[in-house]
Amino acid sequence: MQPSQYFSGMSRRNLLSLIGLTAGTAAMYQAMTSLGLAVESGYKGPVKLEGDPKGASVLILGAGLAGMTAALELRQAGYKVKILEYNNRSGGRNWTLRGGDTYTELGGATQKCDFDEGLYINPGPWRIPYHHNGLLAYCRRLGVTLEPFQQLNHNAFLHSSKAFGGKPQRVRDIKIDFQGHVSELLAKVAHTGKLEGGVTKEDQEMLVEALRSWGALDKDYAYTKSIANSEFRGFAKDPGGGLGAAPVPSDPIALTDILSSGLWGSLANFALYEFQTTMFQPVGGIDMIGKAFTKEVGDLITYNAKVSKIHQDDKGVTVTYEDVQKPGTMAEEKADWCICTIPLTILSQIEINVGAPMQAAIEAVPYASSVKVGLQFKRRFWEQDELIFGGVSYTDLPITQISYPSTSFNTNGKGVLLGAYTWNGPHSYEFTSMAPEERVKRAVEYGTMIHPQYKDEFENGISMAWHRSPFTLGCAGDWTEEARKEHYDNLCQIDGRIVLAGEHASYIPAWMEGAILSSLDAITRLHQRVVAG
């Protein structure tokens, strides 16, 4: 195929996409920002709840991040606050499993985490984008220490069971070679002045020079085996010291092999705005965030409270709940107002007297299916044998991906990998249907196809299937564009004396930032109503 057949009639939008895959995500994001196509978190700084609430009381349902954010701010603003929480812990999906922890899923299967001391897995959220400003602000405010989370590691793997004889390929080799080959094609077309659309002649001239650098092209705009491109993709023999120390250039993978492998598609997992460098994680586990909030508002929480009814009238809200540890033991809690952060999958099964628009919205949002499997190994073989220090490997196997710990680099001893992370689709449903120990077994079997060391180094594991979670019945709100148009605003309205909050009431579902921003918006509007009333 001739270069002109690849790029005939290239538009500005297609050029941006190509820049993202060839020049890198930073160049693409800079271009998107200049065109108004990318924005940061909607966090506007600390919430300001000015005015006297006159002793008003608020009952918050759920002690996840949305609920505890609301409790923290409302109490400081002068409200009387209480929280009802289903679990015997706070944090909700902001949760870490460590050695000695137990977890019982729907169906009664109970797992005990056997990880060694200091090792853990985050079954829910596990990373924080640099532009999630609200969450980062609370981490600063509450003293949560962060460290880098490595999403992109050029030395991690991209794997297809149908390509390259099933042999994993380094992210670097696929990324750089795809970048080089596409740069060659685009440079040759641009050099002949055949780019169309919104790309001017001056743009084309500058693009040719940029592609020569980005793609490590030679003077004829060709991407071929050379010392120059080995500086990008790595050498067949690295430079050393003493006699025979000269480097030997490596052989690029042919464009046709990259295209037919489909591995280029996984590069988008590093280019997406939410996954761009820098990302963070709390030192010691994601639940350090929930624990920091709990330190501030833990005295307000009633644990093991299973809400069964939410009733409002013109005077206040009454919530009926059952003590999970004492089945059949019922109690009531009353307040002037209610902030409900219960996941919609659960809330849709609870008796609540809200208007038809909100009720329809509550019932309109399914939740994503997700499964995670944590695996403990005798040694950190991914570092010692394969020089993979953090990052994510992607595969077409049902486990979807393997994430390597971004902490304790280059140390001896054991380590824990995220050995599977599925998100919706057949693989996720299949893993959800399995017994917990079968999920672990399958994760090891599939992982061995990428890391043969699995079979000798594996010690124990634990799995989390979110659709079998009794407190969420799913991972996160799975909105469609049509559902948002019809139901989103109705979901977020204040209905009488009740307002909803949580990641499902945001445009950032499945992220902690969405939960926090929805909570801040809800309490701001509620406070305005209280003060005005």
Residue 27 has pLDDT above 90, yes or no: no
Mean pLDDT of 506-513: 96
The two structure tokens encoding residue 193: 């002045």
**Burial of 313 from C-beta contacts in 10 A (0-12 / 13-18 / 19+):** exposed
Rounded-to-integer distance, Cα 86 and Cα 62, Å: 7
Check residue 29 and give its pLDDT.
37
Rounded to 5 degrees, what are φ and ψ at 262?
A: 75, 0
The pLDDT, as a whole number, for residue 391 is 97
What's the CA gap between 461 and 454, in Å, rounded? 12
Do 189 and 3 touch, CB atoms closer than 8 A? yes
pLDDT band at 202 (very low <50, low <70, confident <90, very high): confident
Q: Which three-class secondary structure state does DSSP give residue 453?
A: coil
Which residues, 6+ apart, have CB-to-CB distance to 320 below 8 Å? Answer: 307, 308, 309, 310, 311, 330, 331, 332
Q: Looking at residue 137, what is its pLDDT?
A: 98
* 325 CB-contact burial (10 Å; exposed 0-12 / middle 13-18 / buried 19+): exposed
Q: Which domains does the chain have, with CATH numbers?
A: 3-12+171-261 (1.20.1440.240), 57-92+290-363+479-532 (3.50.50.60), 97-155+278-285+368-468 (3.90.660.10)
CA atoms within 13 A on the CB side of 219: 0
**Which carries the bigger pLDDT value, residue 195 or residue 420?**
420
**Over residues 348-363, mean pLDDT:** 98
3-class DSSP state of 404: strand
Residue 56's nearest CA partner among 74, 69, 31 is 74
446-471 per-position pLDDT tens digit: 999 999 999 999 999 999 999 999 99
Q: What is the pLDDT of residues 413-449, one digit of tens each?
A: 999 999 999 999 999 999 999 999 999 999 999 999 9
Look at residue 200 in the predicted model and tell me its pLDDT.
Answer: 83
Residue 40, pLDDT score: 65
Using the predicted structure, report yes or no on whether residue 283 has a pLDDT greater than 70.
yes
Mapped to the 3 state alphabet, what secondary structure does 413-448 carry?
CCEEEEEEEEECHHHHHHHHHCCHHHHHHHHHHHHC
CA dist., res. 202 & res. 506, Å (int): 42
Token look-up 């307002």 returns 499
CA distance 436 to 372: 11
Across residues 267-274, what is the average pLDDT? 88
Q: Which of 31-35, 60-64, 297-301, 309-313 has the lowest mean pLDDT?
A: 31-35
Q: pTM for this structure?
A: 0.90
Indicate whether 17 pLDDT > 60.
Answer: no
- Give strand pairing partners of 307: 321
What residue has token string 């909030």?
293
pLDDT of 25 higher than 50? no
Question: Does residue 12 carry a pLDDT above 50?
Answer: no
Which of 24-33, 175-184, 411-420, 524-533 comes out lowest in average pLDDT? Answer: 24-33
Residue 19 has pLDDT above 60, yes or no: no
pLDDT at 16: 46
Average pLDDT for the chain: 92
Q: Which residue blocks in 458-498 are alpha helix, DSSP H?
A: 481-483, 489-492
- Provide the pLDDT for residue 533: 85
**415-447 b/e (C-beta count within 10 Å ≥ 16 → b):** bbbbbbbbbeeebbeebbeeebeebbbbbbebb
Q: At a CB cut-off of 8 Å and minimum separation 6, what does 524 contact?
A: 47, 49
Q: What is the mean pLDDT of residues 303-311?
A: 98
Provide mean pLDDT across the span 18-26: 43
Task: Return the closest-CA partner of residue 29 out of 277, 356, 387.
Answer: 277
- C-alpha dihedral sign at 478, 480, 483, 487: positive
Which pLDDT score, from 0 to 100, does residue 18 have?
47
CA distance 478 to 475: 9
Whether residue 10 is predicted with pLDDT greater than 50 in this model: the reply is no
Asked if the model's pLDDT at residue 136 lies above 70, the reply is yes
